[in-house]
């Protein structure tokens, strides 16, 4: 019966309960006089004791207070008008959804409400007749269920013709089982609506048509959260003005708070209960139509979920951290005591085994930087979960990210330790094939956990990550959102890790691991993919920029695409020079790398971070900053430029006597990961400040039905 539940609307008009104003003081005792001026009802306070000592300062205080109150009052009133208009749209969406449900269930005939109610009444009579032989408790329970169903069918009101409260359809003349049923929205509602099409891909279009109800459910959840934010805004500001006036009375030894707070209480922000009533109506509608009248289930979806910190996460984080440190110390001692570095097999080990384990080191470092970002985002109240679009209550904190990274570090270091033990132990030294398979086993375990469908090890976060990775690989087929290009930027800093993945395929796929012989670099196929893999992340970002340029018509996206195109050229030139040392390739690699570095540095500092603004309140920074110390911004800008120049090692061929070539490559790649981690914080800081400046605090969920207003007006 949930298919035919009636909808009583969100915007029924109830008279607001007027608040009784507090009786004012005698005119002789008044310190201030508050009045509403102009058509916009701006409040103005007149200080009556201006002639007293310090009176001008107190008058200035009230002028500033009035300015802030009028600003808050106007903002709140405008936002309430917006949500009321949105509630009208949700009314029409719900009418269409009810009709859509009926049409799906009864596709080949006109729906007859009179016949359905008569059949329902007949079923109720038969059911009541069968209850007679049951126990009194069962009979009472069954009868109550049927009565509730009938009341659901008859609950819609037929009064009023206002657009925001209109219920389409006439009241049935014949009344089955002596009741007065009122029809819900009829099938004809579907003649005036169309299902929105996302125009992304054929798959997404079909999926959107099949998930109309789920889409409207998400829209209701976001709308309810918006209403709660608006209610909290009202409460916090009323509390703030109350505290300000009490502090004023205490400092100035006045008794002005009663008059001023009386004005605040009688203003729109203090007396209107539109938002409260809308929240009640939205909750009732959601519970009734989307949670099968289960209030507990419905409210659990509507109310924001508070993520709880668990002690076991801290415990296992400490455990894995201790294990990692202990294994690392053991490795250093083995290298020093057994003098492995001086042995002839060490170069072969660095050429073959070191790249295999370095892959996990890059992933570990990136996760540690991300955990540090989360810590500082939370400390400085950057709303990263909203910006990324995480499902509420499922976003990972820095402890969870560190737990995963330390677990990975423990496994990787244990593999290195096991590998060295097999190398130096005379009893196991012959099992070289088994020795070489340890990194592959570890990589297989990581991939299995990543793609595991079971609800273990943060499945929702893993699914979110895989979804965004898929969208990045499929660029430009999908509409580009912030998580898409943010993750694609992360992958551009893991070029060396992608090349090491290619090395895994070559080393184990071609059987080189059996003799620890590296023949990959002599293969034309390997060298070709060595070029291709390095450019894939940049091509993905370039295609994303082109998609945004086409949709948004923003020329900045075209310039951003040129930045990534210049980086692609620079990477290809540097790779070509590393394969063939010649003067021509050296010049081309140097010129293209300088151009790409200048372009990328400019974009980092000015566009992504919003810094280097000459006319800003904070010289050469931006008007709004989150960090309290300005010197941090200047230091980070210099550090970003220095780390951007890490490619010089490839072009200038730096040689450090005490470092192996593979070690130097890994260090340069790690510096780029660190630079990206620093970039992450300031990129999201700038995004957060832009959201605050434009009052973006909730996601905009597209509604499934497009309502034809013209036809509605004609009818």
Question: Mean pLDDT per 10-residue run, the chain (715 residues)?
Answer: 61 51 50 74 81 83 91 91 88 80 62 52 48 45 42 40 36 38 50 56 52 82 88 92 91 86 89 90 87 85 76 94 95 79 70 91 97 96 90 86 96 89 64 80 95 92 94 92 95 95 92 81 89 94 95 93 95 90 90 94 94 89 92 95 87 77 91 96 94 73 66 44
Give the position of tokens 């359809």: 169
Bridge partners (DSSP) listed for residue 32: 47
Give the position of tokens 């009101």: 157
- Rounded to whole angstroms, the Cα distance separating 479 from 93 reads 24
- For residue 180, which of 90, 248, 114, 97 has the smallest C-alpha distance? 114
Please list the alpha-helical segments (H only) found in 211-310. Answer: 212-252, 257-266, 268-271, 274-290, 295-302
Task: Name 558's Cβ contacts closer than 8 Å, sequence gap at least 6.
Answer: 545, 546, 549
- Rounded to whole angstroms, the Cα distance separating 390 from 372 reads 18
262 contacts 111 by C-beta, under 8 angstroms: no
The pLDDT value recorded for residue 127 is 44
Bridge partners (DSSP) listed for residue 706: 194
- Rounded to whole angstroms, the Cα distance separating 151 from 551 reads 49
- Rounded to whole angstroms, the Cα distance separating 87 from 238 reads 25
The pLDDT value recorded for residue 90 is 85
If 0-12 CB within 10 Å is exposed, 13-18 middle and 19+ buried, where does residue 212 land?
Answer: buried
Pair of tokens at residue 500: 């090491």
- Rounded to whole angstroms, the Cα distance separating 101 from 5 reads 10
At 36, give phi and psi (nearest 5°).
Answer: -100, 125
Our CA dihedral for 123, 124, 127, 133, rounded to 10 degrees, sits at -150
Handedness of CA 218, 221, 226, 227 (dihedral sign): positive
**What global pTM score does this model have?**
0.78
Task: Give the pairing type, strands 32-37 and 193-195.
Answer: unpaired
If 0-12 CB within 10 Å is exposed, 13-18 middle and 19+ buried, where does residue 366 land?
Answer: buried
249 contacts 204 by C-beta, under 8 angstroms: no
Largest interatomic CA distance in the chain: 103
What SS3 class is residue 193? strand
If 0-12 CB within 10 Å is exposed, 13-18 middle and 19+ buried, where does residue 436 land?
Answer: buried
The pLDDT value recorded for residue 219 is 85
């Amino acid at each position: 019966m949930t298919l035919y539940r009636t909808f009583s609307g969100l915007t029924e008009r109830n008279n607001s309960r007027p608040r009784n104003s507090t009786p004012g003081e005698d005119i002789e005792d008044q310190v201030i006089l508050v009045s509403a001026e102009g058509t916009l009802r701006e409040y103005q306070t007149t200080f009556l004791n201006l002639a007293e000592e310090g009176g001008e300062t107190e008058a200035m205080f009230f002028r500033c207070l009035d300015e802030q109150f009028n600003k808050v009052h106007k903002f709140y009133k405008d936002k309430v008008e917006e949500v009321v208009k949105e509630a009208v749209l949700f009314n029409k969406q719900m009418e269409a959804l009810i009709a859509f449900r009926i049409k799906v269930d009864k596709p080949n005939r006109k729906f007859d409400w009179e016949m359905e109610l008569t059949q329902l009444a007949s079923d109720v009579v038969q059911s009541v007749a069968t209850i007679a032989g049951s126990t009194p408790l069962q009979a009472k329970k069954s009868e109550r269920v049927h009565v509730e169903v009938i009341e659901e069918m008859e609950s819609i009101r037929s009064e009023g013709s206002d657009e925001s409260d209109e219920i389409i359809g006439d009241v049935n003349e014949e009344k089955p089982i002596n009741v007065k049923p009122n029809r819900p929205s009829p099938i004809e509602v579907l003649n005036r609506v169309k299902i929105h099409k996302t125009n992304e891909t054929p798959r997404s279009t079909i999926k959107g048509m099949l998930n109309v109800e789920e889409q409207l459910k998400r829209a209701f959840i976001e709308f309810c959260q918006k209403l709660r934010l608006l209610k909290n805004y009202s409460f916090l500001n009323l509390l703030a003005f109350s505290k300000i006036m009490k502090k004023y009375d205490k400092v100035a030894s006045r008794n002005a708070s009663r008059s001023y707070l009386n004005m605040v209480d009688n203003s729109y922000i203090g007396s209107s209960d539109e938002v409260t009533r809308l929240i009640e109506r939205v909750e009732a509608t959601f519970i009734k139509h989307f949670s099968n009248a289960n209030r507990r289930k419905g409210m659990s979806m509507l109310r924001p979920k508070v993520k709880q910190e668990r002690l076991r996460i801290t415990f296992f984080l400490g455990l894995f951290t201790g294990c990692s440190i202990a294994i690392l110390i053991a490795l250093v001692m083995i290298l020093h005591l057994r003098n492995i570095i001086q042995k002839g097999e060490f170069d072969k080990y660095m050429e073959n085994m070191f790249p295999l384990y370095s892959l996990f080191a890059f992933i570990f470092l990136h996760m540690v930087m991300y955990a540090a970002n989360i810590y500082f985002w939370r400390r400085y109240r950057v709303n990263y979960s909203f910006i990324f679009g995480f499902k509420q209550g499922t976003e990972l904190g820095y402890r969870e990210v560190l737990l995963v990274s330390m677990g990975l570090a423990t496994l990787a270091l244990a593999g290195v330790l096991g590998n060295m033990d097999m190398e130096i132990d005379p009893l196991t030294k012959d099992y070289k094939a088994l020795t070489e398979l340890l990194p592959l086993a570890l990589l297989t375990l990581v991939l299995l956990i990543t793609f595991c469908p079971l609800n273990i090890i943060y499945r929702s976060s893993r699914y979110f990550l895989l979804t965004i990775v898929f969208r990045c690989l499929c660029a430009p087929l999908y509409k580009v959102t912030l998580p898409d290009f943010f993750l694609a930027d992360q992958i551009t800093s893991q070029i060396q890790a992608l090349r090491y993945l290619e090395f895994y395929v070559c080393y184990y796929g071609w059987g080189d691991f059996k003799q620890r012989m590296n023949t990959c670099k002599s293969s034309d196929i390997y060298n070709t993919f060595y070029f291709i893999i390095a450019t894939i992340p940049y091509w993905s970002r370039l295609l994303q920029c082109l998609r945004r340029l086409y949709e948004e018509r923003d020329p900045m996206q075209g310039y951003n695409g040129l930045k990534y195109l210049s980086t692609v050229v620079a990477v290809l030139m540097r790779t070509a020079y590393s394969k063939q040392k010649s003067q021509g390739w050296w010049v081309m690699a140097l010129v293209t790398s300088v151009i790409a570095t200048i372009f990328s540095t400019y974009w980092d500092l000015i566009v992504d971070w919003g810094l280097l603004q000459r006319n800003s309140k904070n010289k050469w920074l931006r008007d709004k900053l989150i960090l309290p110390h300005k010197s941090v911004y200047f230091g980070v800008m210099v550090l970003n430029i220095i780390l951007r120049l890490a490619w010089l090692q490839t072009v200038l061929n730096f040689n450090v006597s005490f470092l192996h070539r593979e070690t130097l490559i890994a260090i340069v790649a790690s510096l780029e990961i660190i630079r990206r981690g620093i970039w992450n914080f300031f990129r999201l800081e700038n995004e957060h400040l832009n959201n605050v400046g434009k009052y973006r605090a909730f996601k905009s969920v597209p509604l499934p039905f497009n309502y034809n207003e013209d036809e509605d007006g004609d009818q």
